[in-house]
Amino acid sequence: MKKPLRFLVPGLLAATALAGCEKFTSGYDINPNVPLGASTSLLLTSVEVATGLQEEANAARLSSIWTQQFTGVARQAAGLDVYQTLASDYDSDWGDFYLNVSNNARLAEASADVDKNPLVKGIAQTLEGLSIGQATALWGDIPYSEAFNATIAQPKFDAQKDVYASVQTLLTDAAANLAKPGVSPAAADIFFAGSSPKWLGVANTLRARYALHTKDYTNAAKYAALGVSAPANNLTMPHAGTAYQVDLNLIYSFLDQDRAGDITADGAFAPKLLAASRTNAKTTETGRLNYFYTKTFNNGTGTGYASVDYEPNIYNGAFQPNSPYPMVTYAETQLVLAEAQIRLGNFAPALAALNAVRAYHAGSSSPYAASGAVKYDAYTAADFAAGGIAVYGAANANEALLKEIVTEKYLSLIGQIEPFNDQRRAKPLAGGSVLAKSLVGVTPKKGASLPQRFLYPQIEITTNPNTPAQTVTDLFTPTSVNQ
């Protein structure tokens, strides 16, 4: 009996395996690390986290170097400081804008459609608008109308003006969806926990921002008036600040953990402006200077040296490990409104919007007062007239007010991308070039021109023959809206 059993048991096992193999292996062909789909809430969270990466990482650092808010002093950053850069330097940014944010936003929008949830769709559309608007500002002509079509491997590059127009259409649709009832994503929305009024304010500020980029001052003023209504409604990236490569402020992480010593603010224009030129009878900038920067002495070689330099404040100011990173704010909204109004020739409402920002800086909710003395008394029209305290060499009152507005925005948004967009865009009222000197006063570190764009990334040049890399080969060719 034993001998037959020896052959019987393997035979039965084989038969059982053959009969039950489909059931036995069911599900094992699915890789848990590469899921076939995701819930709408998970998609939304991923887009929001990626938006923080897009806005806060390399693009922000490079923008801050080229606006001379920061200074590149070592390794790659030293080259970037004097405009030495390669197409491959922009590969990661391109991936953030297109894959991590915009493509995933499209997936979240489609998933929200399935859920019949216009609120979540409006949030995702707002984030897509933020991303694509920022991308066309930095690169000029970019893929958009064909960018997310899976059947088109090499999408065309749309004209910059057309991309801006498409972004405005998208944000208009986002605003309409945000005004409709929907199921709140709650904690899956890491910014506003599904608050449609707050998201609507962000969408309108973005409409105003991109209208300003294209010199549509009427709509810039219109939408800024409907934008982020208070500092409590700012779109900021939260950081717990507890673990490296997990939840640190990304500027802090780069300055202290990733590439310590590569970026300082030695000789930078912004701290010099705060330390010297900005004080008048109605303005004291000590608190803002100390919030954004901390003093060093000859690159940290000792307090006995007379030469004082600065570095971004990673200790008790704007760039601590747990500092939230601002992306769309009340201050920007009011200053877009102010600039749009003065460019329309409306002095009084422009001044009112500027003074709203000054009142915030002087108030208890501003972070500046905790860092030192602040004084931001309201300006009057007389302050911008001939001999006034805020003229700064401008030709007339309107020109003086414009310069003050753009300078205030430059100093309010230190460490963000938007000052680089303004530097290339904001010409005096009488017109002229911004290649050799910004309206704020920034001049080139090397050569005769300030950078005017990001280079097209090497990954796109290599894979997409439609990339305009043959006609745009350097940093100093203005994008079409800035010509």
Whether residue 285 lies inside any domain: the answer is no
In total, the chain counts a number of residues equal to: 483
Whole-Å CA distances, 95 to 41, 201, 245? 22, 27, 19
The token pair at 68 is 């001379």
Task: Give the Cβ contact number of residue 9 at 10 Å.
Answer: 10
Whether residue 300 lies inside any domain: the answer is no
Whether residue 250 lies inside any domain: the answer is no
Q: Using one digit for the tens of pLDDT, what is the confidence trace for 148-196?
A: 999 999 999 999 999 999 999 999 999 999 999 999 999 999 999 999 9
Q: Using one digit for the tens of pLDDT, what is the confidence trace for 249-308?
A: 999 999 999 999 999 999 999 999 999 878 899 999 999 999 999 998 654 444 444 467
Place of tokens 């080139």: 444
The tally of domains found in the chain comes to 1
Whether residue 407 lies inside any domain: the answer is yes
Burial class (CB in 10 A: 0-12, 13-18, 19+), 379: buried
Claim: this prediction has a pTM higher than 0.85: yes
Whether residue 427 lies inside any domain: the answer is yes
Tell me the percentage of the chain whose pLDDT exceeds 70: 90
* Greatest C-alpha distance within the chain: 117
Containing structural domain, residue 124: 40-238+321-455
> Nearest-5° angle of CA 430, CA 435, CA 441?
70
For position 29, what pLDDT does the model report? 52
Burial class (CB in 10 A: 0-12, 13-18, 19+), 231: middle
Q: Domain with 404 in it: what CATH number?
A: 1.25.40.390
Going by the DSSP 8-state scheme, the letter that residue 457 receives in this structure is P
CA-based nearest residue to 201, from 108, 105, 327, 110: 327
Alpha helical stretches, state H, 293-447: 330-343, 347-362, 397-412, 418-425
Using only C-alpha atoms, the chain has a radius of gyration, in whole angstroms, of 26
Whether residue 478 lies inside any domain: the answer is no
Whole-Å CA distances, 24 to 19, 58, 284? 10, 48, 74
Whether residue 226 lies inside any domain: the answer is yes
Whether residue 17 lies inside any domain: the answer is no
